[in-house]
Structure 1
Amino acid sequence: MSSDTASAAPRRTWLSNLFQGLQKMGRSLQLPIAVLPAAGILNRLGQPDVFGSDGLGWDRVAKVFVGAGGALLDGSIGLPLLFCVGVAIGMAKKSDGSTALAAVAGFLVYNGVLHQFPKDCGPDTVLQAGACIAKDGTAVAATYQNPGVFGGIVLGLLTAYFWQRFHRTKLVDWLGFFNGRRLVPIMMSGVAIVFAVLCAWAWPPIGDGLTSFSKKLVDLGSTGSGIFGVANRALLTIGLHQFLNTFVWFQFGDFTKPDGTVVHGDIPRFLAGDPTAGQFQTGFFPIMMFALPAAALAIAHTAKPHRRKEISGMMLSVGLTSFVTGITEPIEYSFLFIAPLLYAIHAVLTGVSMAVCWGLGAKDGFSFSAGLIDYCLNWNLATKPWLILIVGACFAVVYYALFRFVIVKFNLATPGREPEEIEQELEQGNVK
């Protein structure tokens, strides 16, 4: 065997292992993401303008739905916990119920420690979902004691590692009760304390920087909208986008309702009827309703012939999820880790859509996300909502053509195009 061949083999093995690890991470994230469409629909049905006092008037029914959906969408506990457990189960080999128990134990300890050090919210506000909430329901300031989904994902990875490393450990006889699987939740309690203390120390400067950045976007008009779109998609990959969102969506600007109540934030102002709101929401509609489903179609069409039917079914599902509910994580995570070039293109084009929509005078908003449900429900509150359909159709063509060209040109390993050796291992894993 030549030296070149010998050096190439380990390199291929390293790259193959890295690729498989990233793919496994992507599949692990799909588990908690699968819950979100139902949560989004439940939460939307519980809003005042649907089942609530401003809609059908079924206030008690609305409370049931908003409570059910809100529990899963809660950025301080619900979503991070879902991701923590999902990643732990997905990343640990031969995981079982004890893996999930260790993840939950670690997360509860981590969350409890973080909440011992909240940002001072003031006498007239309460800490809720990572923000200081005033009595009228508006966000007053972002708080940084909770890294949100990012923290949940990291804890899930730590749980998977420690479970894999210690779930068969045997202690001395007199500690035998704590052998193996019973040991991991105890270990995760200690690990979670260290991680929480690290977050409590490191998060304030990170959050302060993001809040300062979001304030500067407000005065930039369509350019600010575009920058926000790129930053939002980029920060989504590590779960930091909620800090950027908090100020612009729940604090920026003010609008006085007919009854004299003052509301703050791009989303509350839009839902209250402010005709100037929507700067940081409108451009998401063409991307979530049209562009990403077109990207899913491009991924399906470029899959290997013998896998095209399988991938088409999966892409149809995630494309419809994005179109109807505005939940984009399933399609975004399907190419984020295995084809980051596509995600970079997607982030830039999201910014372009934000800038174009605001520049053309279209103004729309959402209560949950920029999907068909919110688009239809908020039609009467929007300005030039029909323009979103035209812009969306243009972006669908651009996304399909560009994604297909880049995938084929650079031979990207999008779903259905995995290297043969990895494809065989995936098939063997499915058989097992």
Structure 2
Amino acid sequence: MSSAGATAHQTTWWHTFYGGLQKMGRSLQLPVAVLPAAGILNRLGQPDVFGKDGLGWDNVAKVFAAAGGALLDSSLGLPLLFCIGVAIGMAKKADGSTALAAVVGFLVYFAVLHAFPDTSKCAGQIIGNQCIDFNSKKAAAAVYQNPGVLGGILIGLLSAWLWVRFHRTRLVDWLGFFNGRRLVPMITALVGLGLGCLGAWAWPPIGTGLTDFSQWLSDLGSTGAGIFGLANRMLLLIGMHQLVNTFVWFQFGDYEKDGTIIHGDIPRFLAGDPTAGQFTSGFFPIMMFALPAAALAIAHSAKPHRRKEIYGLMTSVALTSFVTGITEPIEYSFAYIAPALYVVHAILTGVSMGVTWGLGVHDGFSFSAGVIDYGLNWSLATKPWLIVPIGLAFAAVYYALFRFIIVRFDLKTPGREDDEDVEDVTKA
């Protein structure tokens, strides 16, 4: 093979791999979009809303808490959501049968995992799904291997691949009823069975490694939070930030509430864990204050005859960031045309994460760090009021830095493009 052919082959391989990772990142957005509903339901079930410290409607609070808890359950609810979301997102021309196949595979996988309780974490005898210590006359829920969201993602990926591979398969005539889409759930059931057996055996060292890495970040305190924030924003640039978020946000850490063990920085925060929020708090100053200030700097730096147009655009994306925490419209407006600005933004996001954690701010979100989640979770947070002055300080830094860098280096941010490069939308 010629060197040119080898280079072309490597390029094709890399583009395929990179495209797959980007598609994976987009697929993870689907289950994440469910989290606002989970967060609102969970919030309404807290004692200070409908519960004993609020309206006193304890049974109503139980209903909302149970509903939100079902979606935030780190052993079943969240993994199942990610399994279905990934299967639909990764399968080309997916339909309802894709989701059905994913559910079948996941339920079999989940049941197999729960056939093998972890005896090393039971001081007594396991009977059914309970660990019973006859000496102390105490009982607790048995502990099982729990790949959690990562297991759901893996089942979703396999389901998508199996669906694409077999949904048009035709069997012999006497098995014709099971042709195509009806065949896929049967295959995913077998795959789920095998993966459940593999998970029960292989997950302990893998889970320990991931937990140790996340614990290392956590033990670094402000520095660990800053590293996570920097990695999160840099990976957003290529659409893969959810890959680094998944374990830390939805699986790392343990918090016991009403006899249930809750995992993940976000579910633990929403359940009332006062130590949670290390990997979420610092996003609030950036998304509510700093990025809107960056948008203002971009608008102020536009050419005079285009400033009105850019003001309208930047005001819209700034409000979106402030209210909902959806920042991509702002970030993508300068990320690829002014990479230096994006590097500054990523570094400052890491700084914000370190500052909030260092000052003892613990805040979290169900969807993103906008004012909606900020208000909803105020009473669950620690020192949430500090986010406002921190955010205003970062807003001033962002505005000054963005304005200086754009003007000093003549960056072609929106409104500063050469006139011949601006599309005239009034022409057909």
Using the size of structure 1 for normalisation, the TM-score is: 0.63
Q: Which residue of 2 aligns with 1:202?
A: 202
Q: Which residue of 1 aligns with 2:416?
A: none
Q: Following TM superposition, by how much is the alpha carbon of 1:68 offset from its aligned partner in structure 2, in angstroms? A: 1.7
How do 1:134-149 residues align onto structure 2 when only pairs under 5 Å count? 145-149=145-149
Q: In the TM superposition, what whole-angstrom CA distance separates every residue of 1:313-336 from its partner, at most 9, and x where no partner exists?
A: 99679736754xxxx7x959x98x
> Secondary structure, in 3 states, of the residue corresponding to 1:245?
coil
Residues 23 and 66 of structure 1: CA distance in aligned 2, closer, same or farther (over 3 Å): same
- Counterpart-to-counterpart distance in 2, 1:142 and 1:344: 47
Q: Which residue of 2 aligns with 1:429?
A: none
Give the one of 315, 319, 322 matched to 2:321: 319
- Counterpart-to-counterpart distance in 2, 1:299 and 1:35: 32
Query: Is 1:112 matched with 2:111?
Result: yes
**Residue type of the partner of 1:154?**
L
Q: Following TM superposition, by how much is the alpha carbon of 1:159 offset from its aligned partner in structure 2, in angstroms? A: 1.0
Residues 111 and 367 of structure 1: CA distance in aligned 2, closer, same or farther (over 3 Å): same
Q: Which residue of 2 aligns with 1:256?
A: none
Equivalenced residue count is 362
- Counterpart-to-counterpart distance in 1, 2:96 and 2:276: 47
Q: In the TM superposition, what whole-angstrom CA distance separates every residue of 1:410-432 from its partner, at most 9, and x where no partner exists?
A: 99xxxxxxxxxxxxxxxxxxxxx
Q: In the TM superposition, what whole-angstrom CA distance separates every residue of 1:317-361 from its partner, at most 9, and x where no partner exists?
A: 9736754xxxx7x959x98xx99x9999887655432322243x3
- Counterpart-to-counterpart distance in 1, 2:47 and 2:348: 33
Q: Following TM superposition, by how much is the alpha carbon of 1:58 offset from its aligned partner in structure 2, in angstroms? A: 1.5
Q: Following TM superposition, by how much is the alpha carbon of 1:104 offset from its aligned partner in structure 2, in angstroms? A: 0.7
Q: Following TM superposition, by how much is the alpha carbon of 1:113 offset from its aligned partner in structure 2, in angstroms? A: 1.1
Query: Is 1:54 matched with 2:60?
Result: no
8 Å CA contact 1:113–1:193 kept in 2: the answer is: yes
- Counterpart-to-counterpart distance in 2, 1:14 and 1:61: 55
Stretch deviating more after TM superposition (344-353 or 24-33)? 344-353
Q: Which residue of 2 aligns with 1:30?
A: 29
> Secondary structure, in 3 states, of the residue corresponding to 2:253?
helix
Q: Which residue of 2 aligns with 1:241?
A: 248
Q: In the TM superposition, what whole-angstrom CA distance separates every residue of 1:160-186 from its partner, at most 9, and x where no partner exists?
A: 111111112122233222221111111
Residues 27 and 288 of structure 1: CA distance in aligned 2, closer, same or farther (over 3 Å): same
Percent identical pairs in the alignment equals 60
Q: Following TM superposition, by how much is the alpha carbon of 1:28 offset from its aligned partner in structure 2, in angstroms? A: 2.7
Residues 367 and 86 of structure 1: CA distance in aligned 2, closer, same or farther (over 3 Å): closer
Residues 394 and 388 of structure 1: CA distance in aligned 2, closer, same or farther (over 3 Å): same
> Secondary structure, in 3 states, of the residue corresponding to 2:147?
coil
Gaps of 5+ in 2: 132-139, 236-240, 257-263, 301-305, 414-428
**Residue type of the partner of 1:25?**
M
Stretch deviating more after TM superposition (169-178 or 238-247)? 238-247
RMSD after superposition: 5.3
**Residue type of the partner of 1:355?**
G
Residues 395 and 147 of structure 1: CA distance in aligned 2, closer, same or farther (over 3 Å): farther
Residues 383 and 344 of structure 1: CA distance in aligned 2, closer, same or farther (over 3 Å): same
**Residue type of the partner of 1:245?**
F
How do 1:25-424 residues align onto structure 2 when only pairs under 5 Å count? 25-120=24-119, 121-122=121-122, 145-212=145-212, 222-223=222-223, 225-226=225-226, 237=243, 239-241=246-248, 245-247=252-254, 250=255, 282-287=281-286, 289-290=288-289, 319=321, 322-323=324-325, 349-359=348-358, 361-366=359-364, 372=371, 375-376=374-375, 385-395=384-394
Q: In the TM superposition, what whole-angstrom CA distance separates every residue of 1:79-128 from its partner, at most 9, and x where no partner exists?
A: 211221122222222222221111110010111111222334436999xx
**Residue type of the partner of 1:246?**
G
Residues 221 and 79 of structure 1: CA distance in aligned 2, closer, same or farther (over 3 Å): closer
**Residue type of the partner of 2:253?**
T
8 Å CA contact 1:362–1:387 kept in 2: the answer is: no
8 Å CA contact 2:149–2:250 kept in 1: the answer is: no
- Counterpart-to-counterpart distance in 2, 1:9 and 1:15: 10
- Counterpart-to-counterpart distance in 1, 2:298 and 2:24: 19
8 Å CA contact 1:293–1:322 kept in 2: the answer is: no
Using the size of structure 2 for normalisation, the TM-score is: 0.63
